[in-house]
Amino acid sequence: DAGVIQSPRHEVTEMGQEVTLRCKPISGHNSLFWYRQTMMRGLELLIYFNNNVPIDDSGMPEDRFSAKMPNASFSTLKIQPSEPRDSAVYFCASRTGTGGSEAFFGQGTRLTVV
Amino acid sequence: GENVEQHPSTLSVQEGDSAVIKCTYSDSASNYFPWYKQELGKGPQLIIDIRSNVGEKKDQRIAVTLNKTAKHFSLHITETQPEDSAVYFCAASKSSASKIIFGSGTRLSIRP
């Protein structure tokens, strides 16, 4: 398996634009997580899904952020409109959700909003 | 809510010496405690984990200890090497299907 795949690896956008980050979890994994990493706040959990259903979105900063998981092999995190303070590295991770507990992380998307 | 605190935020040790990173968690229902290593430009990778029914686990130069009563857990790296330089995160989770909460990270530097 190629692991968790995120795209794009880097994104530079202007303030006010819509940004969509994409994630393909490891096949067979039932849980998917979106994290945001900044120097100031570390690794923050934004939202997680079990079996494609959002379970906890309490970490989503505000209504400008939304996440979807239309099927077991794809998830998106959308920011609309983007702001400079959204600049961070966004990670997607997946785990089996049953038995095994290790979460595997993607390489991340470095987002810069100018 | 759930919280994981991690100390120290930075740690510098002489090559060959040991490094210890400590974490505390707030939710007594947590039962799975992984440790991740993050190298520059990469996502975090699991290096070792421990479950609540075990007090200690060792894998070569790395060991973790867990004190459920005090809600403390620690990472111990012995005989440190330059390639151990990275950011280390502790984390806690209640079950295989629940969220994983991370500590704030420790930047470990190994001095040659």
Q: Which residues of A touch B7 (CB under 8 A)?
A: none
Flag whether pLDDT at A98 surpasses 70. Answer: no
Q: Rounded to a whole number, what is the distance in angstroms from the first to the last CA of chain B?
A: 41
Those residues whose C-beta lies under 8 Å from the C-beta of residue A99, and which sit 6 or more positions away, are: B96
Partner B, chain A 81-100, Cβ-Cβ below 8 Å? 91, 93, 95-100
Please state, rounded to an integer, the average pLDDT across all residues of chain A. 94
Answer yes or no: do B97 and A98 touch at CB < 8 A.
Answer: yes
Among B45, B46, B96, select the one facing A97 at the smallest CB separation: B96
What is the CB neighbour count within 10 angstroms for residue A58? 10
Query: What are residue B29's phi and psi, to 5 degrees?
Result: -80, -10
Q: How many CB pairs under 8 A join A and B?
A: 61
For residue A41, the chain B residue with the least C-alpha distance is B104
Distances (CA, A) of A64 to A19, A46, A47, A78: 10, 12, 14, 8
Answer yes or no: do A101 and B42 touch at CB < 8 A.
Answer: no
The stretches in chain B having pLDDT less than 70 are 1, 96
Q: What is the pLDDT of residues B29-46, one digit of tens each?
A: 999 999 999 999 999 999
Q: How far apart are CA A61 and CA A44, in angstroms?
A: 10
